[in-house]
Chain A
Amino acid sequence: MSFFTVENLTAGYGGKPVVDHISFELEEGSLMGLLGANGSGKTTLLKAVCGILPHRGSCTLEKTVLEKLSPRELARLCSYIPQRSGISIDISVLDVVLMGFNPRLGLLEYSSAQMKERARQALNRTGLGGWEEENYLHLSEGQKQLCILARTLAVEGRLLLLDEPESALDFRYRYRMLELLQEWLRDGEQGENGKRAALAALHDPSLALNCCDSLLLLSEGKIRAVLHPGTDSLESMEKQLAVIYGSVSLHRCRDKSGREQLVMLKESGENE
């Protein structure tokens, strides 16, 4: 049995399905990317999986059916990073990170010194060390994303859902964010709290091809293909990616350290 299984998931708005009968599996320790054009249903799928959006079908993490959990139980297992955090009040960066510990605290409990230390460490890892007392609203959009990522890294979740986490980040921090995600997955393999997996809707296909173990291609609310960039041939991936992005070509390049990377280019003169 897979680590995380989605079966026949249908969700939408106003009775109209945006994602329709979606099923897929996610292996433990893996990072799955979700690629699709605007309006293909990536955000809807993520919101349905984490229970924000009412849906039909089921999501099972190991043997736990997520739909049967209370918000508190669900939040202990599963974290969600939205495209943009809705926090709109003056609050310190450290307090935003400490919000992540809420599912582990009683109704009237406060965060402990140990939790504060973990929150500080998570901020250091995301490059926001020293910003603890800054007003969250004064951060740039990219820094806000890193702060929300720190909130997720600080707690011991099992499944991480991310909605275009890199969209507001500069080139350097896009890769840093994905590195942090991979570190988080590795920590799960070595830690005592069980293994982890992540599902991330990504904006940048080249980044997704280089950093994800598998890619789910979504078009018009349905899964068109599942790619495995490490093993699939360039030709077959080009063919599948063309369904979403029109005619594209994939190229293998090596950086100065000799590490191979995939680059996706749009073929000129062709729109479909």
Chain B
Amino acid sequence: MALPTAKTKLFCAAGAILMIALAAASLFVGKYPLSLEGILGRDPMQLRVFWTLRASRTAVGVIGGFALGVAGFVYQTVFRNPLASPDVIGVSSGASAGAAAGILFLSGAAAVTASAFAGALAAVILALALSSLDRAGRNSTIVLAGIAVHSLAQTALMCLKLTADPERELASIEYWIMGSLNGISGYSIGANLILCLLCAAVLFLLHRQILLLSAEEGEARMLGVNVGRLRLVVLLTATLAVSCIVSLSGLISFVGLLAPHGARLLTKRNSMGTMLLGGMLGSILLTGADILARSVSSTELPVSIFTSLLGAPFLIFLIIRGRQKA
């Protein structure tokens, strides 16, 4: 059921080639110049930069972008809304509040990452717990619960900002919220990336069930789906994947919205291939944006600037192209 068509396979192959090319470029672009000769010649400084900074940063770009794309596909399918994204249930605002608390009360990048992850997870669990109070288990209740949690997290973030030292802590909070892959090192990403990959694998295994959730709740139930339980598992898994990434990178706008939308506009289908292509487009977008963020200016820029700059015209192009073909 819903296996990739020949056209989808072609797009996936092209996406994979572009993703690998960008990942390779990402390994060598940055302030400290790396060369293939230096790496192969085992230059100690180049090897150190390669393994501790570039490889980990590239891994977060590729895997993180992939997870954001796949999670976006899941959200858009489950909520039957092309504008849905993991932000719907407050994951980004929860992560922001968690990161702000980490910056104010803890020390070290790893502690901030852990605190952001805890904030994101707390937001998701709270949103899903609130929505479970509605026994009918409607999609709209989850969205409303997400809006409530988002507002709560924003209020907490404002309170934390008010208590922050304006010169150091407030600036750090604002910079974290803008999102960046700068400062990611090999020591802090392992557990997050493994968990993120596991979540993505679970979502691919459940892709047939995810498509069934796109039917109306009563219809899905009559197709043998335990709607409430499956939706909870799927949303929790998708959000966990996103939490793993945003807790490392800060907020990254547009990838979770654009990548699956782009994949759908290209393949004109919702299938496992579309989900895979959505993940690849997410990787391409985030890795490409990260390359630009560290190369267009002497100081590193927030990655979200480029995900939006690359993403918005691409989305408009796809929509116009889709309408012209229709």
Contacts and interface: CB of A to CB of B under 8 A. Distances in A.
B264 A90 contact: yes
Interface residues of A, number: 37
Given A85-B215, A99-B215, A79 B222 contact: yes
Contact of A110 (B3, B217, B264, B270): B3
Interface stretch (A68-76, A203-211, A254-262): A68-76
A50 B222 contact: yes
B295 interface: no
B205 A99 contact: no
A72 B230 CA distance: 12
Contacts, number: 96
B1 interface: yes
Interface string A242-268: 000000000000000000000000000
Contacts of A110: 1, 3, 208
B219 interface: yes
B2 A91 contact: yes
A191 to B, nearest CB: 21
Nearest to A115: B1
Contact of A102 (B77, B225, B264): B225
B222 A78 contact: yes
A99 B1 contact: yes
Contacts of A88: 80, 214
A15 interface: no
Contact of B205 (A98, A101, A108): A108
B216 interface: yes
B158 interface: no
Nearest to A119: B1
B217 to A, nearest CB: 8
A87 B215 contact: yes
A90 B223 contact: no
A103 B224 contact: yes
Nearest to A72: B224
Given A90-B268, A90-B270, A135-B268, A71 B226 contact: yes
B231 to A, nearest CB: 13
A87 B214 contact: yes
A47 interface: yes
Contacts of B211: 89, 91, 95, 99
A51 B269 contact: no
A100 interface: yes
Interface residues of B, number: 30
Interface string A171-203: 000000000000000000000000000000000
Interface in A38-86: 47, 50-53, 70-72, 74-76, 78-80, 82, 85-86
Contacts of B226: 70-72
Contacts of B223: 75, 99-100, 102-103
Interface in A92-128: 92, 95, 98-103, 105, 107-108, 110-111
Contact of A99 (B5, B80, B212): B212
B77 A89 contact: yes
B72 to A, nearest CB: 14
B230 to A, nearest CB: 9
Interface string A147-181: 00000000000000000000000000000000000
B206 interface: yes
B141 to A, nearest CB: 15
A194 B216 CA distance: 29
A89 B80 contact: yes
Nearest to B222: A80
A35 B2 CA distance: 38
A232 to B, nearest CB: 33
15 contacts: A52-B221, A71-B222, A75-B223, A78-B222, A80-B219, A82-B216, A86-B80, A86-B215, A88-B80, A90-B269, A95-B2, A99-B212, A100-B223, A102-B223, A108-B205
Interface of B: 1-3, 5, 77, 80, 205-206, 208-209, 211-212, 214-219, 221-227, 264, 268-271
The 7 tightest CB contacts between A and B, nearest first, are A86-B216, A103-B224, A75-B224, A52-B218, A80-B222, A72-B224, A98-B1
